[in-house]
Amino acid sequence: MELPDESTADIACILNGEPIRARVPLRQNLVDWLRHGVGLTGSHVGCEHGVCGACHVQVDGVVVRGCLMLAVQADRATVETIEGATSSGRIRALQDAFFNRAALQCGFCTPGMLLQAAELLAKNSDPTREEIRQALSGNYCRCTGYHAIVDAVQAAAASLRA
């Protein structure tokens, strides 16, 4: 078997606070590179067509669909995944609230859900249930029915305001 002849590009970015250089296939999307190129498997792949939100990562400070951005586009960007957001402690209140409220079951949607919820709380420290539901409306969860997730985001917001 001959090696495949993938066109690649070299990129350099800040990933979870650390500089990283890599050679990435041009056609590889960001989440596939993070998962399989770097080994950060906390971001998940749920649909690869931008509907489910399982692949959410933060790029240059905003949450994006990791399946709708090419890895090569992360060149010169600042990228943060669930692993980085965890170790920095910036989503700790949300993580604790999700844990205590049982706001996850299979957990596959959870990293993407947490990053999206964190972006909401950064803009709105006291969101209503409706606002939380709207903000998370691009993150599919089959397990929970969302009620506990909304509760957990509210609880996290309250603990952050306290």
Q: Give, as ranges, the residues between 106 and 145 that touch another protein (CB under 8 A).
A: 106-111, 114, 116, 119-120, 129-130, 132-145
> What Rg value do the Cα atoms of the chain yield, rounded?
16
In whole angstroms, how close is the CB of 20 to another protein at the nearest point? 17
* Residue 90 binds to another protein (criterion: CB under 8 A): no
| Distance in angstroms (rounded) separating the CA atoms of residues 124 and 132 | 10
- Using CB atoms within 10 Å of the CB of residue 143, give its burial: 0 to 12 exposed, 13 to 18 middle, 19+ buried: middle
Using the minimum distance from each CB to another protein, give the nearer residue, 99 or 158: 99
Which uninterrupted H or E stretch holds 14? strand 8-15
Q: Could you tell me which residues are beta bridge partners of residue 57? A: 64
Using the minimum distance from each CB to another protein, give the nearer residue, 22 or 144: 144
Contact pick of 12, 23, 99, 125 for another protein (by CB under 8 A): 99
Between 69 and 88, how does the x/- string for binding to another protein read (CB under 8 A)?
xx-xx-x-----xxx--x--
In whole angstroms, how close is the CB of 10 to another protein at the nearest point? 12
Query: Which stretches within 10-70 are classed as H helix?
Result: 30-32
Using the minimum distance from each CB to another protein, give the nearer residue, 62 or 162: 62
Between 23 and 52, how does the x/- string for binding to another protein read (CB under 8 A)?
--xxxxx--x--xx---xxxxxxxxxxxxx
Total chain residues near another protein (CB under 8 A): 86
C-alpha 8: how far from chain center: 25
Using the minimum distance from each CB to another protein, give the nearer residue, 6 or 126: 6
Using the minimum distance from each CB to another protein, give the nearer residue, 20 or 119: 119
Taking CA 53 as the corner, what is the angle to CA 127 and CA 128, rounded to the nearest 5 degrees?
A: 10
| Distance in angstroms (rounded) separating the CA atoms of residues 48 and 54 | 9
